[in-house]
Amino acid sequence: MENKEVHFFKILFIISALWNLIGAVFGYFNTAYTFEGFFDRELTDPLYYAIYQGAWGTTLVYFFGYSIVAYNPLKHTGIVIVGGIGKVGFAISLLKFYLSGIAGNIVFVVIIGDFIFAVLFIYYFFRLVKSKQPIF
């Protein structure tokens, strides 16, 4: 893979890390507000609060993971696999919530954003394979 392409992927993973940090700042550190924005209902149950905050805690962990990948995109492919699966899974869950009438339109910001990142991650793996870089 050429240096220009490696640089592109470094920037991609920096942006992905920042995307996750922004989500985590809202979701983890302002949990009730974010929940109400997504689901148009108050978050009063302490168990649901802890579970929802924990989900956004995972998003905060992804920030650190993508930051590591940005440092060396040719080395940390496992993080991208796990993170990509998480992005697709979270986007699908939010889409299910929306289609069942549980979530509001604002979830499409996350759904579309996470699907875009997933497509770019697939492109990343395509380029790794095409340039004969080891994936693991």
Instruction: Measure the CA–CA gap between 80 and 58, rounded to whole angstroms.
Output: 14
> For residue 57, which amino acid is it?
G
Name the average pLDDT for the chain.
Answer: 96
30-61 per-position pLDDT tens digit = 999 999 999 999 999 999 999 999 999 999 99
Binned at pLDDT 50, 70 and 90, residue 136 comes out as confident
For 32, the token pair is: 């009730």
Reported as a single tens digit per residue, the pLDDT across 55-94 is 999 999 999 999 999 999 999 999 999 999 999 999 999 9
Phi, psi torsion values for 127, nearest 5 degrees = -65, -35
What's the CA gap between 135 and 109, in Å, rounded?
Answer: 30
Q: At residue 128, does pLDDT exceed 80?
A: yes
